[in-house]
């Protein structure tokens, strides 16, 4: 028997009406499958689940909140991150029309939040993990203006100024000087 506090049970909604949930989970960062997540604090999720308009449809809305330590994708330093996000999801029975594989199910833009269920239970923990994954930026940045690492010496440019940049400029200038000298020599000859 699935725990009714950790799982949204559709049968229970059918029987007793809308159900509300509020849980906090410890989730291992590795479960998120994102190397940038170095640490993850307790994850809170609240949800209200009710029947939808269509037969077999259920609406789940709520929010998740969490804090984490991310690795900046530019300077590779850890930084704290906090997010809360609201979700509004619809679950419909998985279509079993295997006989008509050609038929495409049309999804209108406001239906992008539709999930299809096989089992009549949604584990809140999985829902929380899904929501965190959606909240993680594609390229986490400690600051929009993070200067990143020097590609030559690896110095963190947010903290120190290395002299690589100048020496690149010097080399380019030097090459240009060389070309100028050659041109000048050709003219002389
Ligand atoms: Zn950074
Ligand atoms: Zn450098």
3-state secondary structure 70-88: EECCCCCCEEEEEEEEEEE
What is the model's pTM? 0.76
d(CA 137, CA 31): 17
Ligand number with the minimum distance to the CA of 164: 2
* Cα 98 to ligand 2 centre (Å): 59
Report the 10 Å Cβ neighbour count for 176. 10
* Cα 162 to ligand 2 centre (Å): 5
Encode the chain (189 residues) as per-residue pLDDT tens digits.
Answer: 788 899 999 999 999 999 999 999 999 999 999 999 999 999 999 999 999 999 999 999 999 999 999 999 999 999 999 999 999 999 999 887 555 555 555 655 555 688 899 999 999 999 999 999 999 999 999 999 999 999 999 999 999 999 886 555 566 666 667 777 777 777 776
Q: Where are the domains of the chain?
A: 7-135, 147-189
Ligand number with the minimum distance to the CA of 154: 2
d(CA 42, CA 27): 7
């Amino acid at each position: 028997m699935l725990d009714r506090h950790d799982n949204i049970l559709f049968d229970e909604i059918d029987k007793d009406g809308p159900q509300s949930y509020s849980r906090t989970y410890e989730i291992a960062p590795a479960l998120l499958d994102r190397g940038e997540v170095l640490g993850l604090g307790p994850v809170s999720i609240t949800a209200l689940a009710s029947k939808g308009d269509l037969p077999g449809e259920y609406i789940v809305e709520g929010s998740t909140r969490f804090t984490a330590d991310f690795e900046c994708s530019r300077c590779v330093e850890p930084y704290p991150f906090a997010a809360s996000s609201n979700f509004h999801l619809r679950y419909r029975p998985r279509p079993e029309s295997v006989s008509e594989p050609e038929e495409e199910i049309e999804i209108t833009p406001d239906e992008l939040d539709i999930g299809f269920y096989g089992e009549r239970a949604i584990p809140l923990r999985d829902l929380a993990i899904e929501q965190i994954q959606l909240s993680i930026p594609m390229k986490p940045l400690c600051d929009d203006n993070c200067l990143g690492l020097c590609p030559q010496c690896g110095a963190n440019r947010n903290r120190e100024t290395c002299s690589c940049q100048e020496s690149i400029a010097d080399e380019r200038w030097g090459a240009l000087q060389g070309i100028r000298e050659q041109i000048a020599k050709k003219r002389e000859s």
